[in-house]
Amino acid sequence: MGRVLPSEESFALDIEGICNLNADVVFFPVRHHSPLCARLVEEMIYECKPEAVLIEGPVDFNPHLAEIHFSHRLPIAIYSYVRTKEESSLGAYYPFCEYSPEWRALKVAQKLGVSQEFIDLPWSHLAQKDERVHRYADTEMRHSEYVDRLCRLLFCRNFDSLWDTLFEMQQNITLSEFLERFHNFCYALRYEETEIHLNETKREQFMFEKIQEAQKKYKKILVITGGYHSFALYARLQKISFPGTKEVALPNPELAEQGIALTPYSFERLDSLKGYNAGMPSPGFYQKVWENRLTPDLQCHQALLSRLIRILRKKKQVVSSADWIAVETTAQSLASLRGHPQVWRDDLVDAVRSSLIKEEIDSQKENPFLAAVYQVFRGENRGELSSKTSLPPLVKNIRRLLEEHKLFPLREYKIHKWDIAEKTSREKSHILHQLKILGIQGFSRISGSDLTKKTDFVELWEEWKIVWSPEFDSSCIESAAYGTELKEAAMAYLLESSQNDEMTSEEMALIILRSALAGLNEVGEKLYQRLNQLILKEGNFLILSQTLRHILYLYCYDEFLGTRQFPLLGEVLDEAFQRGLWLLEGLGQVSEKTEKVFLGIGYLLEIWDRCSEERNLSPEEFVTVLQRVSTDSGQSPDIRGAATGALWKLKEANSEGIQSSLVYFAQPQKLGDFLTGLFSTARETIQRDKGLLLHIDKALGNYNYDEFLIALPALRLAFTYFTPREKHYLATHLLEALNIRETPLPLEVSTEIALVSLSWEEKIFQVVEKYGLRGRKQNGGANG
């Protein structure tokens, strides 16, 4: 394949030195999660016979290193977590799968009785300045001009394709050939970098110091790190000038809490990492590559193709035998054309594209064939820790609480339903809501009183589905950064979430509601202070209207959550009311979502009705704002109608005044919109006013046929605010006012008529469902 250095002559002596397997310190460069590196690192250990193996990994896990060798099911990961003085929780992963070079090195070293240590700087020392949560990512190699040039030269799509071409597909590459080629590659990549990230320099200095410490104890050392670091460490050892080898001060951050533990991992999570967290993709594919290299059969694509067939058949995708033959033939031909010694990832993907996909691929939609290919390449392996593994305090606390309350998730799901007004049930509810806040898997609230939508308050109840999830253990472990006990961790999570700079006042109000549902009233004051800050900054009336709704509930209706105990809640209510008036007056034209404006005006009305005396709210300001909105010629008729209805409900407007307004909005294009707003805020009041009904009837009677058709859609919308019984009541009143003896059809119907109607309705649903015209609600009604 030849060397890939920009200047080989200047490097000749160095490459000979770093590849010397007889040196006291030997360097093995790896790409994390590479099957080739995994195979060759085993060979390297057997050949070099080191007394110690030093591996790029968190040094603070060394006291627990024996746990690595418990009987886990891979993949697993080392999870490092910190909690800063600023109440921010951070975590990072060091994943291991069966073909990870670090994992193979650990297992072989244990087998041979060789000392093994991690030597990387603890992630907790870098957490606040390094956003990568995947510590075995390929960040440096993926963002290199040198790699880009090689991709163009070798006609490779990206770094992953380049790596496979230069290394992974080279089945017969020897250990010495690999070392020379990869050291050359990494040196050239590093040599061309104009600036080395300070964090990388700190890590390398720390690892170098660990190597020096090991030299005092062992005569022969093998150092296994990412290839990006290998020559920099060698240069420090040999005192060679090289980019990024200057002395720097190592960090010693002040942390509120830190910890490290093993956690289950999965191929799905490993494959989903993108950007700066991206590593070796398609773990299912490379797992098969690893397995097949342990056997004489090297054509791993055939096993993957067989699995692809099973998945597509399961998804009801019809593919003929001829199609599969075409995929196989095309993949073989592409591999031959590209010089691949065997069918590889890109060959198989391109073969499926050309042989199975007949139509144009829409980038906005998922193609079932490609989705199945990526599912096969991703794999489905999920890790599981040995029962001997030590767990963080939070995990132990969660397990104890679940067992005490008989809520521990089992393989067979259980449904729990309880009255949350009862003390024991409320304690269980608090635990489950705390788990939900932390994102612990296996607990789903499937039904009950909806305190968010404020529905179903006849009785306060909840129904939960509890079942074991493969992510249960990992989600518990990964929440350990928030505290040592469940309640403490849930509170810390909510406090951290509340500091999001992009959070709206409505989202903050929901966080307060979540905290109340979880029984976390200890953080109430801090959360209300934060909500008050967001209300003062809120510039969107539509968002604030939803905030008003939640605050109104917490202040006026809560006999269960205990939120009335906070004096600050009343101050927040006052501030939200004043801010709502200010935003309503400056609302301007709202082309869409006017219904949310109606709701906002309704919430202001309800706050006034229920809290004005207790909170000493100003009636003059409220009425003045509504009057300005109702008479604003630049405002839309529907919002003016809603403001007029609010004034009517406050007894600051009368029927005669509204009838005068109807004259102004008598045009067909405006009448229905005005009535929509009016009915939204004064639905009950209009039903008692025969004079206004007569005035509306007169306005409609003045329309000709075409004008009536213009007004009809908005009129239909306006009258949707009334229930069928209320419409019947309006019709009866109108007929009485007009002295018409005819009465509307009765609302009650016989059982026979009801059955006929339901039968027709079911037939209609079947037709629209057949042609995909409209969905259907779960309760059988039409989904509007």
What are 137's two structure tokens? 């990512």
Question: Can you tell me the mean pLDDT for 632-650?
Answer: 92
- Mean pLDDT over 436-442 rounds to 95
**What pLDDT, on the 0 to 100 scale, is given for residue 141?**
79
CB 49 within 8 A of CB 300: no
DSSP conformational letter for 249: P
Helix (H) or strand (E) holding 115: strand 115-120
* 652 closest CA partner among 605, 615, 696: 605
Residue type, position 312, single letter: L
Half-sphere exposure of 572 (CA within 13 A, CB side): 33
37 confidence band (pLDDT: 50, 70, 90)? very high
Strands (E), 441-550: 443-448, 461-466
Condensed to tens digits (0 to 9), the pLDDT of residues 210-229 reads: 999 999 999 999 999 999 99
Share of the chain above pLDDT 70, in %: 90
36-45, 123-132, 759-768 — most confident range: 36-45
CB contact at 8 A, 484 and 476: no
Q: Which residue has the higher pLDDT, 537 or 553?
A: 537
Which pLDDT score, from 0 to 100, does residue 223 have?
A: 96
pLDDT of residue 780: 38
pLDDT at 294: 64
Q: Are strands 52-58 and 115-120 parallel, antiparallel or unpaired?
A: parallel
Give the Cα separation of 200 and 102 in Å (integer).
Answer: 19
Cα-flanking dihedrals φ and ψ of residue 113, to 5°? 75, 25
Segment among 8-12, 406-410, 433-437 with least mean pLDDT: 8-12
Predicted pLDDT at 131? 62
**Predicted local distance difference test score (pLDDT) of residue 52:** 96
Which residue intervals of 387-483 are DSSP H helices?
A: 393-404, 423-438, 472-477
Q: Which residues pair with 258 in a beta bridge?
A: 82
Confidence of residue 63 (pLDDT cuts 50, 70, 90): very high
The pLDDT, as a whole number, for residue 278 is 61
- 177-186, 300-309, 670-679: lowest mean pLDDT where? 300-309
Q: pLDDT value at position 128?
A: 63
Q: Which of 190-199, 692-701, 774-783 has the lowest mean pLDDT?
A: 774-783
Tokens 């409220």 appear where?
A: 622
Tally the C-alpha atoms within 13 A of residue 330's C-alpha that lie toward its C-beta: 19
Sign of the torsion angle spanned by Cα atoms 632, 638, 641, 647 = negative
Least confident residue range of 92-96, 138-142, 361-365, 496-500: 361-365
State yes or no: pLDDT of 558 exceeds 70: no
pLDDT at residue 364, as a whole number: 67
pLDDT in tens, 261-286: 999 999 988 886 555 466 788 899 99
Q: Please, what sign has the CA dihedral across residues 407, 412, 413, 419?
A: negative
Q: Return the percentage of the chain with pLDDT > 90, whole number.
A: 46
Mean pLDDT of the residues in the chain: 86
Q: What is the rounded average pLDDT of the residues 110-119? A: 96
Considering only residues 464 and 780, tell me which one the structure prediction assigns the higher pLDDT: 464
pLDDT of residue 672: 92
Alpha-carbon gap, residue 484 to 395, rounded angstroms:
8
Residue 783: the pLDDT is: 36
Given pLDDT bands bounded at 50, 70 and 90, which one contains residue 117? very high
> What is the distance between the alpha carbons of residues 226 and 399, in angstroms, rounded to a whole number?
38
> How far is residue 130's CA from residue 203's CA, in Å, rounded to a whole number?
12
Can you tell me the mean pLDDT for 147-161? Answer: 90
| Distance of alpha carbon 370 from alpha carbon 453, whole angstroms | 40
Quote the CA–CA distance of 148 and 386 in Å, as a whole number.
43
Does the structure show a pLDDT above 70 at 704? yes
Query: Using 50, 70 and 90 to split pLDDT, how confident is the model at 243?
Result: confident
How many Å is the Cα radius of gyration of the chain?
A: 35
> Does the pLDDT at position 9 exceed 60?
no
Average pLDDT of the residues in 502-519: 91
Nearest to 658 by CA among 670, 667, 645: 645
Distance CA 221, CA 427 (A): 56
What's the helix, strand, coil split of the chain in %, to 5?
A: 60, 10, 30
Long-range own/partner contacts, residues 757-764 (CB < 8 A, 24 or more apart): none
Q: How confident is the model at residue 256 (pLDDT cuts 50, 70, 90)?
A: low
Domain boundaries of the chain, sorted by first residue: 21-263, 283-378, 393-482, 618-744, 749-784
* Neighbouring C-beta atoms of residue 630, cutoff 10 Å: 24
pLDDT in tens, 338-392: 888 888 888 988 888 888 887 777 666 777 788 888 888 888 899 999 999 999 9
